[in-house]
A and B are shown apart, each in its own frame.
Chain A
């Protein structure tokens, strides 16, 4: 299966994995035979009693098991987390930041944030309103060009945001809800076909928006200094320290071509999306 620049070979005996893959990944995501496989992974039933009694699923990559087994019902989220791990732990040809990335008119918006800040919800909402999805978790920054490399995989929604996105994104495809994971209830929303088709099109960074969800808060979009934006990206990067000087230069270049904001949102998603869409109506390169 090909997603953006990555080809993964996935083996699994679980029906839930098969049906989720069929639902979330387009038929043409199947990489042709003979393509180089970057990551050969499996989500398997463990050997022993846990194959039959309260069955479990285990993620394997090249003979290793980087995570503890999970209940078999969580096999698909486990696969998605496993693929994230494969990419963030190995693809050091990129600078990788824990951030959602969407794009419109070749102007990408990075939303760096730790889990729980509403980044995926916001990302799904923007994509529902026509933004192109690059990634809801992993911003891959090409060190040489400074451009963002798409990795359009299903958006992972948690707990209350599942219902919110279901009613917000009427023509979205949202998969089965998997309860009681470490992150609570989880469901995935498919990447729109257009985002998948255009997964070879890299995008130029234009905005860095640090999101924070506060249930009853007003929507505020405040300018953030470039230095603070830089620190947000560096703090949320998986492999910033590995890249040394080149990593610093790449982030500095990204920040130089972006305008940075701190975004607190609550209330309705519509208002949040409209506020961010307004950024795209400003003059190109306009400073905040």
Chain B
């Protein structure tokens, strides 16, 4: 399949091939900012010693993005220390997810990444203790409407986001990595068994390499909001490149996906990492995973929709339309139809009441 061309994707794939003219630089900076990938691009240029060769005007924006991501790194480190302190004595394993995990485990996707909140995974049985310990440490729930509380607690895979009353940082506490009501079911205890302790933080864990990729893939390809889809795909690609250097990693990834029943998201992840970033995946793994891909004509429709939705340009009509279509699909995958109908009805009425829905 043809590799997709786009100025930001090209520059991320091969930072030595950044634009030569002003118009293309403007597009690159603008799309990088829109996709939340300006820091990543700046980091990749800087790592290869190419940042100083960038014309002064776009370079100022890249440097500004680096300033922001360094500050965020420090903030995430600080926040993780506070969370460890708050949860000391709970006796349950604490697994860092996504951005904070990449940063603390010193994995490549952390380089230049933007962080919005910290995500942790704890066993479902430990949720009440974890929640009250976090509240004692100053974290308060952000969704006060009873419907929202029920929505998260009964149907989702996480508590309503918690925010620290003083530091204003946001913490998402998950008990599994997919919604409880979704099409994909997954036994979280499996994830805890495979998780890996951090060398510098014995009290913290991260998901096993394959699970980390699968979590990111499930998150991206089951999600209803693909506004930052490209950023997630950049994470996945960086993880695959990093772990893929280990012998047999891809084969283990595929068998783990089969075990956890998340072959479809893995199929999309490998397909789009290859299509956008020229990712090299062993032939036999592609074949094995492809058996779980969609059949035509759905396969063609999904290729088009995801391809368009992942483009970092919301001004493009095809990207906007594809994101809307996938928004509906994301909800469809998230909950059974009667529940979905109920959920959307409640939201519609609340919007009418003038409340944030």
Contact = CB atoms under 8 A, between A and B. Distances in A.
A242 interface: yes
Nearest to B59: A93
Contact of A241 (B22, B65, B71, B314): B71
Interface string A88-110: 00111100000000000000000
A35 interface: yes
B26 interface: yes
Interface residues on B, range: 20 to 34
A37 B60 CA distance: 12
Nearest to B63: A93
Contacts of A285: none
Contacts of B67: 92-93, 239, 242-243
A244 interface: yes
A38 B61 CA distance: 8
Given A5-B60, A63-B314, A34 B68 contact: no
Nearest to B65: A92
Nearest to B22: A36
Contacts of A35: 22, 57
A35 B60 CA distance: 14
B219 interface: no
Q: Say whether chain B's binding surface is mostly helix, strand, loop, or mixed.
A: helix
A62 interface: yes
A91 B64 contact: yes
Interface residues of A, number: 19
Contact of A90 (B25, B26, B64): B64
Contacts of B71: 241-244
A90 B61 contact: yes
Interface in A23-39: 34-38
Interface of A: 5, 7, 34-38, 40, 62-63, 90-93, 239, 241-244
24 contacts: A5-B60, A7-B57, A35-B22, A35-B57, A36-B22, A36-B26, A36-B57, A37-B26, A38-B61, A40-B26, A40-B30, A62-B33, A63-B314, A90-B61, A90-B64, A91-B60, A92-B63, A92-B65, A93-B63, A93-B64, A93-B67, A241-B71, A242-B68, A244-B74
Interface of B: 22, 25-26, 30, 33-34, 55, 57-58, 60-61, 63-65, 67-68, 70-71, 74, 314-315
